[in-house]
């Protein structure tokens, strides 16, 4: 059911609070919600199985998205206002003025993914990745290359931060997220289950990406650009693999590195 609420000025409706507090993302995380922004990301949210709470948008975008909004099973509040009012409410300059609030789903269960995923499994794990835009770009790559689950280590940011959701371009609505209390321990458990754990490590001389075998069940681990993968997580991997590059370049952006690794995995599996 769609409920339309016109807003002529700054409104005291408590349901608008997530839009007023878009910079306080930890509060959103504690409330189990996230903000999606932009036409494409909001549209992909409405096309997904995620629960949608509300949308905030100008009249012209309500007309564009109304068929999708009315097709949703849950009750959704649509707050409609001119772009200037929306910018006063959110405190942001808005190009399209299309925002939505969704509910963060319960974390995916790794055991269930391992039981039900079609082989060979392709998993990705992130360790110490705190830049939201880079994490979102990595999620977008995961969606593009058919990754069955993203394992988020205890030192990484949430992929449901507003900037991460935006950078994923809606990819976060397609990739199950597994939250780990100890990524090193989770990788050890995967190895027991014969899932090959590969650390994407630019400073190793042991093996290059072209030499790695990515055809079987595997989990590729990425770290931050600044510090890479932490020592406990490196030690939990079966092997370390590097992308060959010019000697004067320290490393690639994690999104670029993920694209290279995941493309190679798909190529080896005959999916490229």
31: Cα within 13 Å, side-chain hemisphere: 18
pLDDT at 244: 87
**Same domain (yes/no): 118, 146:** yes
**Same domain (yes/no): 96, 115:** no
- The residue segments making up the domain with residue 14 are 2-103
Q: How far apart are CA 168 and CA 124, in angstroms?
A: 15
What is the total count of domains within the chain?
2
**Same domain (yes/no): 85, 170:** no
**Same domain (yes/no): 40, 140:** no
pLDDT at 204: 66
**Same domain (yes/no): 115, 221:** yes
Handedness of CA 165, 61, 10, 52 (dihedral sign): negative
**Same domain (yes/no): 130, 202:** yes
**Same domain (yes/no): 44, 162:** no
- For every one of its 272 residues, what pLDDT tens digit does the chain have, with 9 covering 90 and above? 899 998 876 567 788 888 888 778 788 888 999 999 999 999 999 999 999 999 999 999 999 999 999 999 999 999 998 877 777 777 766 657 799 999 999 999 999 999 988 889 999 999 999 999 999 999 999 999 999 999 999 999 999 999 999 999 999 999 999 999 999 999 999 999 999 999 998 876 678 999 999 999 999 999 987 788 999 999 999 999 999 887 777 778 899 999 999 999 999 998 76
Cβ–Cβ under 8 Å, residues 207 and 78: no
**Same domain (yes/no): 134, 235:** yes
**Same domain (yes/no): 38, 163:** no
pTM: 0.92
Q: Residue 261: which of 147, 134, 106 has the closest Cα?
A: 147
């Amino acid at each position: 059911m769609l409920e339309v609420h016109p807003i002529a000025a700054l409104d005291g409706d408590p349901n608008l609070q997530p839009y007023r507090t878009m910079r306080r993302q930890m509060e959103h995380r504690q409330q189990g919600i996230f903000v999606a922004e932009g036409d494409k990301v909001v549209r992909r949210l409405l096309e997904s199985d995620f629960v949608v709470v509300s949308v905030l948008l100008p009249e012209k975008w309500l007309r564009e998205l109304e068929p999708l909004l009315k097709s949703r099973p849950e009750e959704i509040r649509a707050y409609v206002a001119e772009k200037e009012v929306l910018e006063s409410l959110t405190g942001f300059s808005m190009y399209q003025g299309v925002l939505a609030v969704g509910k963060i789903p319960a974390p995916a269960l790794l055991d269930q993914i391992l039981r039900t995923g079609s082989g060979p499994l392709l998993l990705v794990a992130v360790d110490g990745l705190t830049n939201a835009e880079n994490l979102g770009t990595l999620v977008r790559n995961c969606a593009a290359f058919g990754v069955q689950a993203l394992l988020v280590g205890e030192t990484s940011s949430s992929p449901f931060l507003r900037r991460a959701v935006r950078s994923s371009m809606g990819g976060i609505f397609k990739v199950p997220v597994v939250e780990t209390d100890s990524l090193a321990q989770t990788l050890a458990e995967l190895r027991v289950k014969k899932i090959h754990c590969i650390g994407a490590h630019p400073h190793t001389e042991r093996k290059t990406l072209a030499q790695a075998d990515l055809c079987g069940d595997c989990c590729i681990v990425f770290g931050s650009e600044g510090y890479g993968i932490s020592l406990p997580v490196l030690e939990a991997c079966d092997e370390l693999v590097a992308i060959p590059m010019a000697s004067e370049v320290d490393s690639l952006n994690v999104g670029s590195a993920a694209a290279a690794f995941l493309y190679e995995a798909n190529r080896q599996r005959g999916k490229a």
